[in-house]
Amino acid sequence: MNLIKKVVNEGSTTQKPIWLMRQAGRYLPEFRKIRKENSDFIKLCLNEILVPEITLQPLKRFNIDAAIIFSDILMLPYGIGQEVEFKKNFGPILGELENVNFSSTDENEFTEKLLPVYRSIKKVSHSLISQNKSLIGFVGAPWTILVYMLNKQSPKKELNSKLENLKENKRLIQVIIKYLKIHIKNQIKNGADIIQIFDSWAGLVNKKDVGDLIYKPNAELVEFIKSLNIPVICFPRETKNYVEFINEVNPSVISLDYNVDIKRIVKEIKIPTQGNLDPKILLSDVNNIKKNTLAILDNFKDHPHIFNLGHGVLPQTDPNMIEYLVKLVKDY
């Protein structure tokens, strides 16, 4: 059994597996080279030769315990028929939602559009068999997907007032969930053996709406994934109350952002944890990396824990620092 399964299925505390959010990406020169030659990001995500290669790049360098399929949460709106484009130095830009024949995109049409993603998962899954490592499939949580679909760009830039209509939000979230379930099922069918749900913009939701927009939609997906006998990691980034999230949503693993008070949370929850090193720490020096990494490992010494960052690897990270981090965790 691989290390992540030991932690997730058996609650093992003896070894700490490690993988990193955004472990495949712009901080790797071998990725930047491919990216330079492939300016259309969506097309790249649909390239059945390059996606497996990019997915496996970090595993060739580092002794990490999982591959996460190289793709994007915005492949979902793309699959439904909304235009998605990634502009250099700006981020994602989405087309008008009014032009999307949202609820009429049928299941087969959606799957057909994303078929290259599933074929890539199958390929990676085959090449991981002998390595005894996990293959993580992923989706964006319904709220986070809705934010991009309505806002049509990163909420970091500006927040559209359309997102204030709770009734309409709830209706759209139900439609999004329908397609998310198809996307999840297809990833599992092709070899993903664990699913992570990224609710990157959970922190934007106020207390009053957190049940409708965060807890209920995540809980519905968690129940669905568990019914397929696959564990599910939830990452409700910057949500106001992690303990309440866990009680309401009941994920297999909770991924903690870097603002979480880990001393407190380890006393309050029982389920396996993941996280939560601040990615900015990797931009500093080895002494600082060591100090902060050991603090996390010590904190979760007697708790089932998957080492990870509190958000994605930053593009300016030196790969040597990741190598150092992985070795630290493995030698602990």
Residues that bind ligand 1CP (CB under 6 A): 21-26, 35, 41, 68, 70, 72-74, 86, 91-92, 138, 154, 156, 198, 200, 312
Quote the tokens at residue 56.
């496996």
Choice between 52 and 303, CB closer to ligand 1CP:
52
Question: Which residue, 28 or 182, has its beta carbon nearer to ligand 1CP?
Answer: 28
C-alpha separations of 84 from 91, 94, 95, 202, 314 in Å: 10, 5, 6, 22, 23
Half-sphere CA count of 55, side-chain side, radius 13 A:
33
Q: Contact, 320 vs 286, CB < 8 A?
A: no
CB of 137 to ligand 1CP, least distance (A): 10
* Least Å from the CB of residue 41 to ligand 1CP: 5
Angle between helices 216-227 and 242-249 (to 10 degrees): 50
> Of the two residues 12 and 55, which places its CB atom closer to ligand 1CP in the complex?
55
Tokens of residue 322, six digits: 């990741």
Residue 276's φ and ψ, nearest 5 degrees, are -135, 35
Closest residue to ligand 1CP: CB criterion: 154
Nearer to ligand 1CP, 199 or 273 (CB): 199
Phi/psi for 257 (5° steps) reads: -75, 175
Q: How far is the CB of 316 from ligand 1CP (least distance, A)?
A: 13
Q: How many CB atoms lie within 10 A of CB 115?
A: 14
Q: Minimum Å distance from CB 16 to ligand 1CP?
A: 19
Residue with smaller CB distance to ligand 1CP, 12 or 222 = 222
We find the least distance from the C-beta atom of residue 245 to ligand 1CP, in angstroms, to be: 16
